[in-house]
Each structure stands twice: as structure tokens, then as C-alpha cells.
A and B are shown apart, each in its own frame.
Chain A
Amino acid sequence: MMNNIPNSIKSVSPKRLPEYMTAQQQKALDKLEKFDAETPDIHMEQYREKYRHTPVEKFFTEDDTVGKTSHGTENEHPNFSEIDAVKIFMINGVYAGRDQIVSDDGYIYGSLATAAFAMPEIVQKYYNQISDESDKIALTNTAFAHNGLFVTMESGTIPRKPLLIIDITDTDITEQERNLFVFAKACIANVIIYTTSSTDVATFTNNLSEIAVEQDAQVNIVRIHNRDSLSRHFASDCCRQYAGSSLELTNIIVNGGLARQNTEVHLSEKRCNSNLYGLVTAAGSQHIDNYTFIDHAAPECQSNELYKYILNDKALNIFNGRILVRPDAQKTLAFQSNKNILLSAEAKIHTKPQLEIYADDVKCSHGTTTGQLNEEALFYMQARGINKKTAEIMIMTGFANEILKKINNPQLEDYIRTEILKKF
């Protein structure tokens, strides 16, 4: 199945890590061991609520309800060789390149372990500073992840190409991948992260990426999750933005058995701009859970969030979007929207927008809609001679397009659109 991945790529064994990292790992392990006993009741309640529909335990045990039906045919991959990008392969959570730091088109990257020694001043400054210490899954990753990817850029860098990270899992051994992205001042970056798996292996992954967007940087990240229905996947993107920066983070879940994606953005300094987009297409008994948290901690920031779901069969899906506007975050603009189409009577969506506002001079809104395919639109198209099935596909594609067009690559966009339509 992995026929378009270079042969030279092989996984490398875990590296030793510097003391400043192992100390953090030990600290996380200690916290994890005492988590149930020492977490105050009120926090424990919040934590349970955060994982209400997808209890963490579900990830660590075999669950009979998950992924027993495989959807689509063979897991195919887009033809990566045709995509003009700086490419990085991650195999089973491990950087599949040489043991050195590479610089290509402005992107500076290597394995996190390599970077920990080669560029300690950056890694030490950001490593485990954004990740959520009150989250069991994040702590587990910090405690056990040995390696992953490190990407940075120098101030003011404007690469010509996007960075394409192809993250392949083809083993049933638990994978804990830890990534660190540091986008320096005023750089402009386009990153595409494509996670996939082989068809016949029940993969289990717990990935965590810390993403720092420094002053005036403009970062666009598109995450595409396209794994087999046997996969169980947990991922956290923990982002921190500094003054005047913009971040657009698009999270497209094409396929997966069980997937929980945490997307957390901390707007720490003035005038940050943050756009979060999401698209989920789920069928069979797929269980997809998105938790987003936008933390408005500084004044004059703007956030905008749009998540869309198309659900079929017995898919059970969750959108839990929390926006916190802290007392100092005056002049905040925060908008959130969640729109869902249910194609079957048994598909389910739990949607929970949460807006907590502690500042008085702000503009915030949230809204959610859930419905079936628009019957009036269907009839309108049929009345123009378009057959019902084609009309349905056109309406669904139209619904998905708003998010799909965020993929800054036409080949990949077309590929994903085709993959999505295969499901319905």
C-alpha cells in the first residue's frame, strides 16, 4: 500500500533526550499517577465533561463498538510525488529522515530528539509550555512520547512551497508522537499534515503538537486525517499566539474509526487573529469527537470558528467548542458556528457550544444548525433535470467546499473531495 513512499525511509529507534526534557517527562508521569487522587472535584468534573462522549479509557481498551466495519475500499494515498512541497515523512510517530537538522526553502526541521541537542535554546523555551497539564491524554503523551517532529523557521522567512508532513501509521503498537512547531516572528508558513494508516491494522495513536506562532507571523495549517475505520486516534494541537500573529487551522477528518481531536488556541498577546475550520465526514459506526478551546487572554484579538459535519449510517459525532474571554480581553471579537447534515435517521451529533465571557466590551456569537439535506434545494435541482443522486452529491459537495477550499493545494483538494464522496 505504501508504494509511493521512498524506500530509503525506515523508522529510527528512540533517541536519548536531554535532561530538561526527561525532567518534564518525569513530572508528567508523577502528575498522571496522582491524577485521579489529587485532582480537585471541581476540576475532575470539568475534565469528565470535556471527555463526556469519548471517555479517555475508551482509547486504552479494546472497544467492540469501534471500527469493526471497514469503509471504503483500499486505503489509497494521494500521489504525493506530484505535489510540489517540502515533504517530511513520519512513520509510526517517528521522523523518517536523517539524524540531522535540515533546512529547505525556509523550513528548518528534524526529529525532536535531534533538535533537542542541536537547537536547545528554542526547544527548551517552548517544549511542554503550551500543552495542557490538566489533561490526562496530554500528560500521557508528555510522559511517554520519546520523539516526534520539530519544525521551525527564522524570523521573516517566506518559503516558496508549502510544507507537507505525511504521517503514516502501520503498526498496532501504541504510538505517542510529540511534535513542536515554532514559527518565528513575521514568517509566513503553509503546512499540510496528512495522517493515514494501512488498511488491516488496528492502529492506536496519541499525538500531541505544540505550535507557537510568534509576533506577526502568519501561519496556515491544514490537518487531514484519513485513516482506516480500525484506527483509534487521539490528537491535540496546542497553539499559542503572540502579538499581531494570525493562525488559520483547518481540521479535516475524512475517515477514521475513533478520533478525538483537541484543538486549543491561546491568544496570549494583543491583536491576534485566529481562524479554526473543521470538516468531518463519518459513516458506519465511526466516532469522531472535536473539542476546540479558544482562550482569549489578551485584548483586541479576533477568533472565528466554523465546523461542519456530514454524517451517515450510525455515526456518532461530537462538536464541543469552548470560547473563554478573560477579564483583560477587551475588544474581543469571537464567532463560532457549527453546521451539520445528517443523512440517516440513526446518525447522531452532540453539539455543545460554550461561550464564557468575563470582559464587558466584546462581540461574541455562536450558533449551530443540524438538519437533513435541504429538500427544497433537491427539488429545485431535480426540476432542472438533475437526477436525485447527483443533486444530493452536489449539495453535499457544496456544503463541504467551504472548508475544502482551505486546502491550499488543488491536487490534494480534489483528491480529498473524491475520497469524501466515496463514503456517501
Chain B
Amino acid sequence: MIKITDLHAGIGSKEILKGINLEIKAGEVHAIMGPNGSGKSTLASIITGNSKFDITGGSIEFEENDLLEMSPEDRANAGIFLSFQYPVEIPGVAMSSFMKAAFNEKRKYNKLAPIDSASFLKIMREKAALVGMDLSLLHRPVNEGFSGGEKKRNEIFQMAMLEPKLAILDETDSGLDIDALRIVSEGVNKLKSKDNALIVITHYQRLLDYIVPDFVHVLYDGRIVKSAGRELAPELEEKGYDWLKH
């Protein structure tokens, strides 16, 4: 589905990613772990198309397209989704209008007519129920005044609405209490299928107890220094990252 080859990137002269290689196939769940500042969020931002970062080398192929050549909106409509570590507040723009705009852009991209309001409302209700999101939030401005937990739940709600092929969860577990974590994870698991894939960025094994990865990668100083099966996560929890640094 996505193939990242020798990716180098940074901001200005500061290199953050120093040669990332990663291939993900449909149906797989990959966890990316690693200490703060190792480049996990940068990798997520670059896949999504944040122009803040300069790509200095390498390539990303997404379903045989050159992803780096695509605009952020095209990437989203082609099926890439990022659950933001820090979801952004948009004053004055209601969640429901925001979601409807996004939903219809995707339909337009797929050459479908805009959805009618009644059907859209019905889908919103279903998906909100799936992630246990309070319906009243849909009438409020995007993320404005949402609690930390509500913001994260809202990200997964949007993922449910847009049904991406490749979803990246960037520290979706931070800010969630244990009950919310369970509900959100159950939501994510319901959305999983053999046709889509998931990248889970996290510091803690806790989330991986619910969303079980097929592969675990350790990102350190801009490189993937270790890749293994799901058994690596508890080992990291126990031993920390230090033993991988050399």
C-alpha cells in the first residue's frame, strides 16, 4: 500500500529523518515507538503533506502514486488519514459543516455526487455511536472547548466518517483515560479490515494491548533501528530504549 524508501527530511538545515525505509501492506497494523524527538510525528506529518518540512531525499509511493507530488487534500481524498496528536481548533466552523465539506470533497474526488443532508446525518449518527462521541459536539465549532479526550475521540470519529485506506494514529492514546482508551480502540478495531492499514505511533504499550500490531518499529534519531513482531512492545516497556541506541 505504502512504500517509504530512504526518506530524508528536516526543517531548514536541521535533518530530522535520516533515511527511513518502511513498507506497509493492506491489512497490516504497524506500531512506531521511540523516544521524544526521534522523528515519529515528523514522519506522520510528511506522509500527510505538511509543507512545514523539507524533503531532502528518498521517496514515498502510495498505491503506485508518487505521494510526495500530491497536495495534502489529494492525499486525504486518496485515502490517507492522520489522527492529529494536537487536534486544531477552528473557531466559528461547526463540526457538522466541516465534516460535510470533507465528506463531499472525497465523494467529488471519487466522482460521486454530493450526499443529501438526511443521509449524511444518518451516517454521522452511526459513526458517532461507533466511537461513543456525544452528538452535541457536532453542533459546536471544530474542537473548540473540547476536552483532551473529546478531541481524540473526535479524530477517530472523523476517521470513521472518511474510511481511509491508511490511517496514522499519532499518540491518540495521550489524553485519554482508561475507559475512553478502550472505547476509542474498539472503534478503531471495528474500522480495521483486510483492505486498510494502520500506523500507530505511541509511547506506551497500553494502547497496543487494545490495537494489536503485526509489526513494531523503533524510531531513534531519524532512523528505524529495530523492527520486530508484536512481542517487541512489552520488551520496550520493560527495558526502555537505551539498549537499542548502539
Interface residues on A, range: 20 to 34
Tell yes or no: A382 within 8 A of B by CB.
Answer: yes
CB distance from B196 to the nearest CB of A (A): 16
Tell yes or no: A400 within 8 A of B by CB.
Answer: yes
**In the bound complex, do residue A386 and residue B89 qualify as a contact, i.e. CB atoms below 8 Å apart?**
no
CB distance from B96 to the nearest CB of A (A): 12
**In the bound complex, do residue B91 and residue A399 qualify as a contact, i.e. CB atoms below 8 Å apart?**
yes
**Interface 9-residue window, one of B13-21, B101-109, B172-180:** B101-109
Count B-side interface residues using an 8 Å CB cutoff: 30
**In the bound complex, do residue A377 and residue B88 qualify as a contact, i.e. CB atoms below 8 Å apart?**
yes
A383 partner residues in chain B, CB cutoff 8 A:
48-50, 72-73, 75-76, 81-82, 84
Contact of B77 among A376, A385, A395 (CB under 8 A): A385
Q: Which residue of A lies closest to B89 (CB)?
A: A377
A395 partner residues in chain B, CB cutoff 8 A:
90, 92-93
**In the bound complex, do residue A394 and residue B98 qualify as a contact, i.e. CB atoms below 8 Å apart?**
yes
Contact of B88 among A380, A385, A386, A388 (CB under 8 A): A380
Can you list 29 pairs linking A and B with CB atoms under 8 Å apart? A381-B101, A381-B102, A382-B49, A383-B48, A383-B72, A383-B76, A383-B81, A383-B82, A384-B98, A384-B102, A385-B76, A385-B105, A385-B162, A386-B98, A387-B71, A388-B73, A390-B101, A390-B105, A394-B93, A394-B97, A394-B98, A395-B90, A398-B90, A398-B91, A398-B93, A399-B91, A399-B92, A401-B92, A402-B91
A377 partner residues in chain B, CB cutoff 8 A:
88-90
**In the bound complex, do residue B71 and residue A380 qualify as a contact, i.e. CB atoms below 8 Å apart?**
no
Beyond A399-B92, A402-B92, whether A382 also contacts B71 by CB under 8 A is yes
Tell yes or no: A397 within 8 A of B by CB.
Answer: yes
Tell yes or no: A80 within 8 A of B by CB.
Answer: no
**In the bound complex, do residue A380 and residue B162 qualify as a contact, i.e. CB atoms below 8 Å apart?**
no
Contact of A387 among B84, B105, B141, B158 (CB under 8 A): B105
B48 partner residues in chain A, CB cutoff 8 A:
383
Q: Which residue of B lies closest to A396 (CB)?
A: B92
Please provide the 3 A-B residue pairs with the shortest distance between their CB atoms, ordered closest to farther.
Answer: A398-B92, A385-B76, A398-B93
Tell yes or no: B87 within 8 A of A by CB.
Answer: yes
| Per-residue contact bits, chain B 109-121, to A (CB 8 Å; 1 contact, 0 not) | 1000000000000
Tell yes or no: A358 within 8 A of B by CB.
Answer: no
Contact of A386 among B81, B87, B105, B141 (CB under 8 A): B105
Beyond A380-B90, A394-B101, whether A385 also contacts B82 by CB under 8 A is no
